């Protein structure tokens, strides 16, 4: 009898949970069709990809890359044997579950680093009882402006494609890694995409790297992830595993 009662309560809890992902899809579709505002009454978005930022980024890249950036790239590659971030690959798996809203996320990411430059590809999926909302995010070019063993700061730009809605946005991202310990590496990440930022993400994570001295190492991560998707907030505790190839 107790088992039947517990099961009934759990099923009712699932069906009563709000379909946040369903609402996200509805607002994303309105954005795609040119709606001027989201239904939360507080945020307004344009329905077009903001090509202005892409053009500005491309202009800056072509003007600067052959000047001071080429010198910085040369200096970083000269010390790549000391600073092991500089020529490396990263593969990350992460996930999280919010019991209060009965939703979860899973994320897969791969990144290649070559001195001053990086490129990152990831899949991000947020899911609840109403379905999933998946994006494929490609940071086409990331610049490792600070690239030391215990301090790393990068900024990047690329595109974010919403799979279910079939629309693509310009995306900006920045990450900051700061560590005073040989085994623990905390870092902050901020991402924003779309004209008017219909999608924003912030995370505060820490990696535990027990095998940091090895050429190829496995690390573990944990922390907090926040996403705001078309005016709807998602909060997740997060855990993951990381493979560093150096």
What confidence tens digit (pLDDT) does each residue in 65-104 have?
A: 666 777 888 888 887 777 777 889 999 999 999 988 889 9
Residues in Cβ contact with 81 at an 8 Å cutoff, skipping those fewer than 6 apart: none
Whether residue 106 contacts residue 240, with contact meaning beta carbons closer than 8 Å, is answered with no
Q: Is 81 contained in some domain?
A: yes
Q: Residue 88 has which token pair? A: 């490396």
What is the pTM assigned to this prediction? 0.79
CA dihedral over 76, 188, 49, 130, signed as positive or negative: positive
Residue 83 belongs to some domain of the structure: yes
Q: What is the pLDDT of residue 15?
A: 44
Measure the CA angle with vertex 19, ends 236 and 126; round to 5°: 40
Per-residue DSSP letters for 28-90?
HHHHHTT-SB-TTSS-B--SS--HHHHHHHHHHHHHHTTTHHHHHHHHHHHTTTTSTTSEEEE
Domain total in the chain: 1
Query: How far apart are the C-alpha atoms of 110 and 92, rounded to whole Å?
Result: 6
Place of tokens 């994006």: 135
Residues 143-182: tens digit of each pLDDT: 999 888 889 999 999 999 999 999 999 999 999 999 888 8
How far is Cα 237 from Cα 222, in angstroms, rounded to an integer?
8
Specify if 8 maps to a domain: no
The CATH code of the domain that includes 241 is 2.40.160
Residue 13 lies in a domain: no
Location of structure tokens 């344009």: 46
State both tokens at 155: 């900024």
CA distance 126 to 132: 6
48 pLDDT exceeds 70? no
Torsion from C-alpha of 161, 162, 167, 168, nearest 10 degrees: -20
Instruction: Confirm whether 14 is domain-assigned.
Output: no
Q: What is the mean pLDDT of residues 13-18?
A: 47
The answer to whether residue 12 is domain-embedded is no
Domain-embedded: residue 140:
yes
Q: What is the pLDDT of residue 1?
A: 52
Owning domain of residue 42: 19-245
Q: Is residue 11 part of a domain?
A: no
């Amino acid at each position: 009898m107790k088992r039947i009662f517990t099961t009934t309560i759990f099923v009712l809890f699932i069906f009563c949970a709000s379909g946040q992902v369903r609402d996200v899809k509805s607002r994303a579709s309105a954005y795609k069709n040119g709606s001027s505002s989201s239904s939360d009454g507080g945020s307004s978005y344009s329905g077009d990809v903001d090509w202005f930022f892409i053009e500005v980024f491309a202009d800056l890249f072509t003007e600067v890359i052959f000047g001071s950036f080429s010198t910085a790239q040369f200096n970083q590659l000269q010390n790549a044997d000391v600073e092991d971030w500089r020529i490396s690959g990263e593969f990350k798996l992460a996930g999280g579950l919010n019991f209060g809203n009965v939703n979860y996320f899973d994320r897969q990411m791969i990144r290649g680093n070559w001195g001053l430059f990086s490129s990152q590809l990831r899949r991000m999926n947020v899911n609840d009882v109403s379905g999933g909302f998946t994006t494929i995010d490609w940071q086409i070019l990331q610049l490792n402006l600070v690239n030391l063993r215990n301090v790393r700061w990068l900024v990047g730009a690329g595109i974010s494609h919403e799979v279910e809605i079939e629309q693509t946005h310009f995306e900006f991202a920045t990450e900051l890694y700061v560590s005073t310990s040989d085994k623990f590496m905390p870092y902050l990440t901020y991402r924003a995409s779309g004209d008017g930022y219909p999608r924003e993400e912030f995370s505060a994570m820490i990696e535990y790297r027990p095998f940091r001295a090895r050429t190829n190492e496995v690390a573990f991560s944990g922390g907090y992830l926040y996403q705001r998707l078309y005016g709807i907030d998602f909060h997740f505790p997060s855990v993951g595993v990381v493979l560093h190839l150096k």
